[in-house]
Amino acid sequence: LFPYTTLFRSVRALLDGARRGLARCGVAADRVDVAWVPGAYEIPVMVREMARSGRYDALVALGAVIRGETAHFEYVAGPCADGVARVQLDTGVPVGFGVLTTEDVAQATARSGPGAGNKGDEAAVGALETLLVLRAIREAVDRDPFAPCSVHLSESVEEMEFIKTGGGAWRTLLEDLGV
């Protein structure tokens, strides 16, 4: 039971980080759904079904795969990453990838801790930034399919806050998100 307890703690800490990142970006807690799966191998099918449902503008995949003494790591980590990437490409729904692939428990704990560097936080903010960029591009193409389009979001939450209060298309995009 030790490995499962440790993995669960790491994944729970990633979820806490994702919630903090989403809250920092202004996403209300009641706009966040959580779906649990038995393991990382099952993440892509759940992400695909959620993306296809039309209920979600962005998703965040969280999990942990710790290398052991068998080939299990290779059979799980790669297909999980590939499957999640395929969901994004097939559906156009951005998916923040916060599935840890580590050599040991210490690395998983370090990447899921409460401070800076929590990969759940980074994946959640990355999914939102990708969503905003995709929406801006799609909006620009809808206005004029032949006009050049340039979109950039900073990695800084402070600059995202500036964009939120700056009006224009960004305000519309964030209001659509409920931010």
- Residue 129, both tokens: 């930034």
Q: What is the pLDDT of residues 94-125, one digit of tens each?
A: 999 999 999 998 999 999 998 889 999 999 99
| Known catalytic membership, residue 152 | no
Which of 46, 42, 65, 60 lies closest to 111, judged by CA?
Answer: 65
In the chain the first and final C-alpha atoms are separated, in Å, by: 40
- The structure's pTM equals 0.80
Per the residue annotation, which of 12, 31, 52, 72 is the catalytic one?
A: 72
